[in-house]
Amino acid sequence: MSSRKPRSAVVNGQSTRGSGSAGLPTLTVENFAQLQYVELPRADLVVLVGPQATGKSLVLELLKLAIDRNRIVRVLKQHGYKWERPQELAALYFGGGFEQSWTASTRLRYAGEKLTLRDIAKSRYPGEDTVFYIPAHRTLAIADGWPRRFTEYQVDTPYVARRFSEELLTALNQGLGKGKIFPHDRRLKDAFRKLIDEAVFHGATLKLEVSGMRKQFVLEYEETATLPFMAWTAGQREFTPLLLGLYHLLPPGGSPPKRTNVQWAIIEEPEMGLHPKAIVAVMAVVLDLLARGYKVALSTHSPTVLEVIWGMSQLKGVKDGPARLCKMMGLPGRDKSVLRTATEALKRTYSVVHLQHDQPGRVISKDISSLNPGAADQRELNWGGLIGFSATVNDMVANIHER
């Protein structure tokens, strides 16, 4: 079966191809699981959209594998895992059932380098993680109110979920869990903390409480109640591991602006369980990640995420763009540190990639970065389907009173 290869895209007036780009290097995937041909253009912020089961998570996991393959092999072997055939490594990384997904026709290229599963399985061990991955199934990490170790998960749990849980456990054991977790006066700028509090915690304090011989997360409402993890709203349970992951990427005040080794942040579906106001708060922190020098890759089903991207693209190059961006995000534009974050974020490049089934079981990608409301292509016009239903509703009710 021949692959369809999309044209080179243009992002914010710059070609997404070329060695001169400082953004996310191009990843191309051919014939892996349901992915027929997918390409991630070079940009500082890459957003994946598309219907369920189009493989957005697989693409992001492949990006992690391509970049951190040496470290992944090392972590698996340190935890006692072994494999005789390369396909067994695929099952250990992606989860059970993926042994046959990497076939002789699979092609993976990262930054122009061809990577085979056999070569990855034989990777040497130097270096640390340069990608920090916050998975969609992040609530698994604190499902019982406390993160679990890597080997406490079933072997069919994806590597990125097991690794995320263990990294949270390490961070909490090394001091993150002492005292208040949120609000924390050395984590996040005050303006970002305010956005998060108003959207998610509503005056509650997130902390660890010792109950018998066990620590557990609680939300403490001053003079009213202390709620255990399972009594929280679904949004609060979804947001807490995301917040802990963001803390990992944002060193305490007085530290360097970013982790030295980590260059990329991958966040799957940051909107899960959240009200649009809370999604905007998360995206405000994403702006901070960009301003600090991280490259960011997201997957989403939220039109709010794309509204932020579209707004940023329109404000890019505008004289008072940073101040307008602050106002758009609900941030104080007169705060110099926040304005500096907005200024730096607007210097970055952005790309939106839509995944869709070209035919049953075969997914291809298309760059829809301009999010042009006048585009002839329905995928771009409807922002990968995220605003298509709204347009249909508008069409159906537009002329009701004229009939």
396 in a domain, yes or no?
no
Helices marked H in 104-188: 117-121, 159-171
3 in a domain, yes or no?
no
Query: Could you list the residue range(s) of the whole structural domain that residue 90 is in?
Result: 10-390
Name the one residue in this structure whose structure tokens are 């930054």: 111
Candidates 227, 44, 262; CA nearest to 134 is 262
Mean predicted confidence (pLDDT) in 291-314: 96
User: Would strands 205-211 and 180-182 be described as parallel, antiparallel, or unpaired?
Assistant: antiparallel
What pLDDT, in 10s, does the model give residues 164-223?
999 999 998 887 867 789 998 888 899 999 999 999 999 999 998 877 777 889 999 987
What pLDDT, in 10s, does the model give residues 50-71?
999 999 999 999 999 999 999 9
Q: Per-residue pLDDT for 11 more than 50?
A: no
- Tell me if 314 sits within 8 A of 283, measured CB to CB: no
Q: Per-residue pLDDT for 281 more than 60?
A: yes
For position 333, what pLDDT does the model report?
A: 86
Q: Per-residue pLDDT for 5 more than 50?
A: no
2 in a domain, yes or no?
no
4 in a domain, yes or no?
no
Q: Which residues pair with 109 in a beta bridge?
A: 28, 114
Q: Cα dihedral angle (216, 220, 225, 228), rounded to 10 degrees? A: -20
403 in a domain, yes or no?
no
87: which 2 tokens?
């396909």
395 in a domain, yes or no?
no
pLDDT band at 26 (very low <50, low <70, confident <90, very high): confident
217: which 2 tokens?
């997360």
Q: Per-residue pLDDT for 13 more than 50?
A: no
For position 402, what pLDDT does the model report?
A: 60
What pLDDT, in 10s, does the model give residues 118-129?
999 888 766 789
365 in a domain, yes or no?
yes
What pLDDT, in 10s, does the model give residues 335-384?
999 999 999 999 999 999 999 998 888 999 999 999 987 888 888 888 88
29: which 2 tokens?
């995937």
Rg for the chain (alpha carbons), in Å? 22
- Tell me if 73 sits within 8 A of 120, measured CB to CB: yes
5 in a domain, yes or no?
no
Counting the structural domains of the chain, the total is 1
Report how far residue 158's alpha carbon sits from residue 356's, in angstroms, rounded to the nearest whole number: 23
Q: The domain that contains 270 carries what CATH number?
A: 3.40.50
Candidates 118, 117, 105, 135; CA nearest to 37 is 105
Candidates 146, 209, 207, 142; CA nearest to 181 is 207
Candidates 249, 223, 227; CA nearest to 236 is 227
- Tell me if 339 sits within 8 A of 329, measured CB to CB: no
**Length of the chain (residues):** 403
Within 10 Å of residue 297's Cβ, how many Cβ atoms? 26
